Amino acid sequence: MQPQSSLNYERIARAIRFIREHRREQPRLEEVAEHVHMSVYHFQRTFREWAGTSPKQFLQYLNVEHAKRVLQETHASLADTAEEVGLSGTGRLHDLFVRIEGMTPGEWKNGGEHLDIRYSRAESPFGEVLVASTDKGICWLEFADENGKNLARLREKFPRARYTQARDERQQAVLSIFARNRDNLEEIKLHLRGTDFQLQVWQALLRIPLGGLATYGDIAAHIGHPTACRAVGTAVGDNPVAYLIPCHRVIRATGEWGPYRWGETRKTAIIGWEAARRKQKQGQLG
């Protein structure tokens, strides 16, 4: 007899293939559940456990990715793009982009056009960082990697923005957190673009105190999606501002540090550094 976990995996794999193959028809939840011979309730719960998102959200991600290819590779209008994707009109396309990408289809296609971004490099206790800002706040903070492609990744996210190598007051405030041993993260204004789900996860990360740790399950439960640990992990990995949104404070339920976009060694060093600072602060207050 086939184990239940293996059977569920095969069903979800078939469901994903069905959704991909019939994406343009925008299949209803009931259709997909029927295709894999499951009740709607059981299918939706099992799909979220295995895929880290709901069937509806998965279809939305496919729609957005297809729309991005159409917008990028052709000169199609928004109306033609919506029709090609299988949506009923530009309003649905607009709402979908705002929900998934945190920007309108036009803003995504323009790639940050008319946006002024200032950037600079500096040393931190954990190696060189690249920090970038707009008039609204900090939009990027990365630890340098071995390939030195930090600036290329920033330009890839906002390909049509105007870039100036300069350090402003917003960047200096960020760097002072390292240089002056300050903890004024709440004073740093951020200019972020993300989906509703990503923003919920990042907001939850901001609530983890200095020297504290949380698991992916803790974050999932905190935002009201207790079974979405995989999706939480993806959102944590997509964090565009290292340290300021403390994704390094998220660990596995087993107690292992787990992966980190800028290296597990750096993650270990940051956690240790923060634990020492917290202990120092408690000693000063005692």
CA-CA distance, 149 to 280, in Å (whole number)? 36
CA-CA distance, 114 to 116, in Å (whole number)? 6
Of the candidates 67, 220, 245, 247, the residue annotated as catalytic is 247
DSSP string, the chain: ---HHHHHHHHHHHHHHHHHHTGGG---HHHHHHHTT--HHHHHHHHHHHHSS-HHHHHHHHHHHHHHHHHHHS---HHHHHHHHT-SSHHHHHHHHHHHHSS-HHHHHHTSTT-EEEEEEEEETTEEEEEEE-SSSEEEEEE--TT--HHHHHHHHSTTSEEEE---HHHHHHHHHHHTT---GGG--B-----HHHHHHHHHHHTSPTT--EEHHHHHHHTT-TT-HHHHHHHHHT-SBTTTS-GGGEE-TTS-----TT-HHHHHHHHHHHHHHHHHHHHHH-
Residues 162 and 115 sit within 8 Å (Cβ to Cβ): yes
Residues 179 and 237 sit within 8 Å (Cβ to Cβ): no
Residues 230 and 52 sit within 8 Å (Cβ to Cβ): yes
Asked if 247 is an active-site residue, the reply is yes
Residues 110 and 160 sit within 8 Å (Cβ to Cβ): yes
Catalytic residues: 247
